[in-house]
Amino acid sequence: MSIETISTNTAFGGTQGVYRHASSATGTDMTFSVYVPPHAEGAKLPVVWYLSGLTCTHANVTDKGGFRAACAEHGVIFVAPDTSPRGDDVPDDEGYDFGKGAGFYVDATQAPWAANFRMRSYVEDELAALIAAQFPMADMARQAITGHSMGGHGALTIGLRNPARFASISAFAPIASPLACGWGEKALGGYLGPDKAAWRAYDACALIADGARVDALLVDQGDADQFLVEQLKPELLREACAAAGIDLTLRMQPGYDHSYYFIETFMADHIAWHAERLKR
Q: How far is CA 159 from the centre of its chain?
A: 9
Any catalytic annotation for residue 149? Answer: yes
Rounded Cα distance, 1 and 130, in Å = 6
- Count of Cβ atoms closer than 10 Å to residue 120 Cβ: 21
Catalytic residue, chosen from 33, 82, 225, 274, is 225
Q: Report the b/e string of 172-186 with b at 16+ CB within 10 A.
A: bbbbbbbbebebbeb
Q: How many helices (H) and strands (E) does the chain have?
A: 9, 9
Nearest Cα to Cα of residue 219 among 167, 279, 263: 263
**Per-residue CA distances from 256 to 1, 81, 135, 228, 266 (Å):** 41, 25, 36, 11, 11
Rounded Cα distance, 3 and 133, in Å = 10
Q: In the 3-class helix/strand/coil scheme, how is 40-89 assigned residue by residue?
A: CCCCCEEEEEEECCCCCCHHHHHHHCCCHHHHHHHCCEEEEECCCCCCCC
- The two most distant CA atoms of the chain are separated, in Å, by 52
Task: Report DSSP letters for 156-173, one per residue.
Answer: HHHHHH-TTTEEEEEEES
Catalytic residue, chosen from 23, 33, 84, 149, is 149
Q: In what order do the strands lie in the sheet with 4-11?
A: 4-11, 14-22, 29-36, 77-81, 45-51, 138-147, 166-172, 216-222, 247-253
Any catalytic annotation for residue 274? Answer: no
Residue type, 16: Q
Any catalytic annotation for residue 220? Answer: no
Catalytic residues: 149, 225, 258
